[in-house]
Structures are given as structure tokens and as C-alpha cells.
Structure 1
Amino acid sequence: MAKTETGKIAVLWRGDHKARKSATPENNRFYRVFEELKALGIHAEPVVYSDDIVDDVYEQLVNFDGVLVWVDPIHEGQTRVVLDAMLREVASRGPWVSAHPDVILKMGVKEVLHRTKHLGWGTDTHLYSTKSAFWAEFPSRLESAGPRVLKQNRGNSGQGVWKIEQISRPAGDGALVRVLHARRGSLSQEMALGDFMTRCEAYFTPGGCIVDQPFQPRLPDGMIRCYMGADKVVGFGHQFIKALMPPPPEGPDSDAAQPGPRIMHPASAEPFQALRAKMENEWMPQMMDVLNIDSDSLPIIWDADFLYGPRTEAGTDTFVLCEINVSSVFAIPDQAPAAIARLVKDRLRAKFPSK
């Protein structure tokens, strides 16, 4: 494989043929990443991907030293099935890929909420791996435990995430429930529990499952997005989200129904230092052990979304992991592009010591 003096990096995202032909390091949302890579002497090129040119993209990528990937799990009906197979083959040829599809399947799926529920970020989380288990266990749990949130294993933008609240008894598939989808613009619906569960059966695809967590009453306090560069915090984002909250009287498309802006903060921001210490010193090493991931395999950029849990008796906040995003983390804090570039340089040195 031909190598440049400083290393050659592809920055990959999904787009159409027009975007592929016109892409430059300057005319896309990742321009800051390109700038920081260039500042460290690393050559980076844009690679715009679509499934119908997977072979062409593969031939491109095998000539790079590494690939940074930003592609959502689900987008307008498209998945990552074809892309992930190709990226595995690229990685087998020598270039490192971040995030590698196998790492995504460990970290970037909702199943991780169940596998790590015993960590300090966990809660009363259950996993349904089959339709029969879902039907056997969920109705009674909903009746006894109160409002729940169900999540399909792999998705983004609120797709396949539901709040369910039982509003009539007795328990069972005939009970009346109120459901609300997390996708923007959704309205609450009342229906029989059995009808809703039948709708959810579509999530039991090969490798699919449903994760079940309690609804967090402090949702109106906002969500904290903890941005990670490998195993270190590189920033925070705090946002007053509206997903899983009933739309205002003005309607789901009104200004009042839209989420607030995500306010970015540096890793040093004082309000988040307790969370930073937990992430770096406790939860990260524990998660890596549970998932069997070493530090060199961690994604160069990823995030963990937290909701506020119940306050302790002393009045301090606790945090509940809502999801981990690995496939396509953007927007990112101002400090993150430089951290990404430094991590890329470290990976190049580790894999290609002569660079």
C-alpha cells in the first residue's frame, strides 16, 4: 500500500453522486476536522458513499491508512448493512476504521444499556430478545413498574423509541395504553397494548431486540451529551429535549414543540465535572471490560447521552445512560476537532511507527 509521508486519512459520509463529485475538504460540515488534521501534517480526503458504488469506494479506501466514518444506522430507509460489510473488508486489508462496525455492534446499540446496567449509569433495564419473551414479560412489568420506554436495538433520531403508559386495567394485551414515539412531530396515541406490541414485532429482525427502561421523570431537566475522544471526555452538550414529552397545545410542529439548542461546553466546564470523573475513572474502564474493547479499538469520537436520575438523599444528581452514539456523532464541541486530529495522529503512530 502506498503511504504518504504523514499518513493518509479518508473522511467518509453518505451522499449522492453530485455530492461525491463536488466534495472538497472545505465545503462540508466536517471542514474543522479537515483543518485540524492538516495542521498536524495529516493528509485527509473526503469520500462520499452510497450503496450503489460500494465497490468504487472500497477501491478508494484500501489506499488510505485510516478511515473516519460518519454514517447514521438508519437514514431515509437506508441502513449500514452494505457499508459495514465493506468497512470490515477494508479493515482486514490494513487501514484502521473508526468506528469499526464490530465495535459499533458492541457499543452503539441499545443492547449495551442492558449489558452495562450494573454500572453506575444503569437502571431497571430489561431485554427482550424474542417476540415470545416480549409478550410474556412486558405487560405485567408495565402494570407493576409504571411508565416504560422501549427502544429498538439500532436506530437514530428517535426511530423505534417509545414511551408507554398504561391507563386502564387489568394487565394484558387488552389494557388501554398511551404511547408516544420519540420522533419529532409525534402525537400521543391511545390503543390496546396488544396492538402496540404487534407494531413493535418489526424490531425483532436478525440481531434485533427491544430494550425496556423506566421513564425518567426528570426528562424536562434536559439531556447531557458527554462527548468522548476514545476514553477521554472532550466536551459536553446540554439540551432541553422534547422527545417523549407530550406536545404543547400549539401542536407538534409549533416552535414550542421544538427542542432547545444544544449548548456546548468544554470538558473543563464546572457543572459537569462529577460526570466527567465518573466517565473517565469508573464507567469507561468498567464498560471496556464488560464489552471486551481495548483502548486502541475505541471510536475516535463518540458520545454517551445521559438523563438526570433521582437525586440522592444529599441532593446531588445521579445520571442514567440513555444511549451511546457511535456511528455518526455530529455536531461536536469546538474543542473536539483538535482532539480528533490528535487521536488520529496517535493511531497512525501506533499502526505505522515509521510515520
Structure 2
Amino acid sequence: MSKKVIFFEVQGGSDKGPDGYRKDTMPMVHALERRGYAAEVIFYDFDNQQAIFNYVLAHGIAYVSRINPGNLKHESAYFSMLRQLCEEGIIAMPHPDAMIGYGAKDALVKLTDTSLVPNDTFAYYTIKELFENFPSSLAKGERVLKQNRGSTGEGIWRVALVDGGQDILHTTTKIKCTEAKDNHVEYWELGEFMAFCEKYIVGDNGMLIDMPFLPRIKEGEIRLLMLQDRPIHVVHKKPYDSEDAFSATLFSGAHYRYDQPEQWQHLVSSFLMQLPEITQLLGGYDLPLIWTADFILDTTSDGHDTYILGEMNCSCVGFTSQLELAEEVAEAIISSILAAHTSIA
């Protein structure tokens, strides 16, 4: 084929290998080339955005976004360029609004009518909303606050009352806060902590998600790695065994185990059954190329196991520990291109 699959990256960031690329990008490029498809990596740069847009329009057939938004200084401009490319017929993997819809933490709030997310899950977009609503939420039990930005557990706080059994909380109420980044504990007054959290709310796509703490996180978080609508493996992430630990990140000492989807058949079947509804509730866009859904075990009122969705990620999900998956990703990219051409014809 004459036109190329364009992989977008950005210069710098902790996700790069010695060659300056993400470690999982070039394996995908080479897998496409082995199948006769031209592919190229372009480093997005805000100052050269128009030239990049023109080049992709002239030479590209599809793009694959491999940029962690946390590494972008001009995130909204990047998304705007991607939308323009989509409008001009470039095949999106994924569409920028799908990136936002699946990747933003408030996706959870949009799914509270499903069995996947507790209905007492809330989003705060202003510091005023946080001050007005979080105290009454915390009074009902231990909570988790999650910022929309960040990675490796940064800005995800488990919040509990130092002295339980309080129906009405005040700004001076003492709270215990554990950050998922490294499971360290801090003690605050409630008002001071909420004021501290304003930094998570300001700026593009700033928000905080407030959801109940699920104590069975101690048994591990279950991550489905999805290739469009197909689970390709499951990562069981068990937090470090200590009193306050609840983080399932490698940095915090969690233990990872890689399983086949068949080993989690009940979870996989249930999730796939609800996937059409999830897709519709999150905007109706094509599923991202590579994305994840993280689950935590909970117990129903009649004593049965259930799985609660903790978050989804699709902006730049890596698979550096299993680079052989690049072959399957390349096949999915080609299938999407062929399907798009068939629908146009």
C-alpha cells in the first residue's frame, strides 16, 4: 500500500527507551512492515502542528496515538489536530474523544447505572463541589479520591476518619490519607486536605472522582488488557502485604502475575456482555486499539463475588513486558483499515 500508518509519539518522558521511542512502538512498526504496510513514527510538536497535520493528511491512512497526555504541554491542541484528521478521513486509533471518554476518570460516573460501578460514585469539577459534597460522602464510610491526571498511583488517596462513627464532619475533622503512589500515610484536617486537592481540579480535564474504598483490593486488582473488543491477557496485581497498602502499582511493591483470559472467564464474559452498553454510554465511538479495564473484587448483599470497575485507560497503554503482542496489534490495525475501506466502498 502507498499510504502509511502514522504512530504519534512525543519527545522525552519516562516511557522512552535508549533510542528515544517507546519500547513497544517500533515492534508495531516492524510488524506492519512485515505485512507489507508502510509505517512511520512522528514526534508531535505544538510549534510544528500545522506541518505535521499536512504531512499526515498527504501521506497517512491511519494514526495510532502513543502519547501519554501527561507528557504533553498542549494536550487540547493535540486532540484538536486529531479531530481534524478524523474529519478528513484519517482512520483514528483511537478517536480523541474516545481517548477522553474511556480514559477520563469520570467515565466511572457515566457507568453508575450498570452493575460495574457503585451508584455512590461522584465527580467533582470544582473545589466548591468538593467542599460541599465530600464531607457527607466520607461520613458514610472510607473513600478513595482519584485525580484525572497522573500515573502510577499519584494523586489517588484512600481517605478514612481517624475517629469513626461521626455523622457530621467539620473542616477540622481529623482524617488519615494514604496515597497509592507508594502507600505512604499522611494525617490531615479535612478542610486542609480538600484545599490541597484543588491542584487536581484546576487545569485542562481537571477533576476528582470520589468512590467507596473496596477492602478486597487486598486480594488484588484484575486488569484486562484489551485489543479493541478482545481481551488478550489478564494481569493480577496484588498490593504489598502491609496494613495500609492498597496500591497495585509495581512502584509501590505490588506483585504482578500474568494470566490467560480463560483463567478469569466469569469476569471476562460479564464484561464483554456489557461492552455494547459501555460503548454507548461513553459516546458510541469505536473501541480504542489498546486499552485496559481494572477491576476490584467486592461482595454482593447475598454473599456472592462481584467485580467493580476501578478505572479504564486508553491514552497510551504499554505492553513492554510482552512485546510479542505487537504481531496481534498489527493484525488489528490492518483489520480496522480494511473494514474502514469496505464501509466506504
Give the TM-score, by structure 1 length. 0.82
Compute the displacement of 1:28 (Å).
3.6
Q: Letter of the aligned partner of 1:94 in structure 2?
A: G
Match of 1:112 among 101, 107, 112: 107
Contact 2:94 2:287 in 1 (8 A): yes
Compute the displacement of 1:278 (Å).
1.0
What residue number does 2:187 align with? 190
Q: Using the alignment, how far apart are the partners of 1:235 and 1:334 within structure 2?
A: 13
What residue number does 2:200 align with? 203
Match of 1:266 among 254, 260, 270: 260
Q: Using the alignment, how far apart are the partners of 1:162 and 1:233 within structure 2?
A: 29
Counterparts of 1:18-57 in structure 2, within 5 Å, are 28-57=23-52
Q: Letter of the aligned partner of 1:326 in structure 2?
A: C
- Which secondary structure does the structure 1 equivalent of 2:215 belong to? coil
Gaps of 5+ in 2: none
- Which secondary structure does the structure 1 equivalent of 2:187 belong to? strand
What residue number does 1:96 align with? 91
Per-residue CA deviations over 1:219-260 (Å, capped at 9, x if unaligned) read 121111111122222221112245997369xxx9xx995222
Per-residue CA deviations over 1:26-76 (Å, capped at 9, x if unaligned) read x9433332343234322212223344443443343222111111112214x
What is the identity percentage for the equivalent residue pairs of Structure 1 and Structure 2?
23
Counterparts of 1:199-238 in structure 2, within 5 Å, are 199-205=196-202, 207-238=205-236
Q: Letter of the aligned partner of 1:141 in structure 2?
A: S
Compute the displacement of 1:291 (Å).
2.1
Compute the displacement of 1:147 (Å).
1.1
Q: Letter of the aligned partner of 1:160 in structure 2?
A: G
Gaps of 5+ in 1: none
Count residues in correspondence: 333
Change (3 A) 1:345 1:117: same
Counterparts of 1:285-300 in structure 2, within 5 Å, are 285-294=276-285, 297-300=286-289
What residue number does 1:326 align with? 314
Give the TM-score, by structure 2 length. 0.84
Q: Letter of the aligned partner of 1:125 in structure 2?
A: T
- Which secondary structure does the structure 2 equivalent of 1:34 belong to? helix
- Answer yes or no: is 1:342 the counterpart of 2:331: yes
Q: Letter of the aligned partner of 2:44 in structure 1?
A: Y
Change (3 A) 1:79 1:183: farther
Q: Letter of the aligned partner of 2:98 in structure 1?
A: V
Change (3 A) 1:165 1:121: same
